[in-house]
Amino acid sequence: MNTKLHAVTDANGRPISFFMTAGQVSDYTGAAALLDSLSKAQWMLADRGYDADWFRDALQEKGITPCIPGRKIRSKTVKYDKRRYKRRNRIEIMFGRLKDWRRVATRYDRCPKAFFSAVALAATVIFWL
């Protein structure tokens, strides 16, 4: 069983919301699901998996400036703030802190609901520490 965890964090790297999809599902599905849960923000930092014109337009409608590098297969390059994009490591640090929890890192739970509840418990503790 393979799953992919999509997350929204605040500027400090604290987890705000999660969405879990099957491992073979595109990142666009997670982006569409988390779009409504986005709070007021100036910038959205994401990796190339979330590069889509509809996602960029939806972010700009909410008043959020996307900082997402374009995919390599794009015919027209997309400009983004490279200096600001370096701060995306906070998201990776949050996922690393989630994996400090042995139950989350080794995926003991076969059921996706049980695994997601373990992630939620770990995220709650991480948020307040």
Tens digits of residue pLDDT in 79-112: 999 999 999 899 999 999 999 999 889 888 888 8
Q: What is the mean pLDDT of residues 44-57?
A: 90
User: Is the pLDDT assigned to residue 121 strictly greater than 90?
Assistant: yes
Residue with tokens 């099957």: 22
Query: Mean pLDDT over all residues of the chain?
Result: 89
pTM of the predicted model as reported, rounded to 2 decimal places: 0.84
Q: Please tell me the predicted confidence (pLDDT) of residue 1.
A: 61
pLDDT band at 35 (very low <50, low <70, confident <90, very high): confident
Q: Please tell me the predicted confidence (pLDDT) of residue 76.
A: 86
pLDDT digits (tens, 9 = 90+) for 12-21: 889 999 999 8
Q: What is the mean pLDDT of residues 27-39?
A: 85
Q: What is the mean pLDDT of residues 25-53?
A: 87
What's the CA gap between 31 and 111, in Å, rounded? 23
What's the CA gap between 72 and 86, in Å, rounded? 18
CATH of the domain at 63: 3.30.420.10
Q: Please tell me the predicted confidence (pLDDT) of residue 40.
A: 83
Q: How many domains does the chain have?
A: 1
What's the CA gap between 9 and 6, in Å, rounded? 10
What's the CA gap between 108 and 66, in Å, rounded? 36
Supply the range of the domain harboring residue 24. Answer: 3-128
Q: Please tell me the predicted confidence (pLDDT) of residue 83.
A: 93
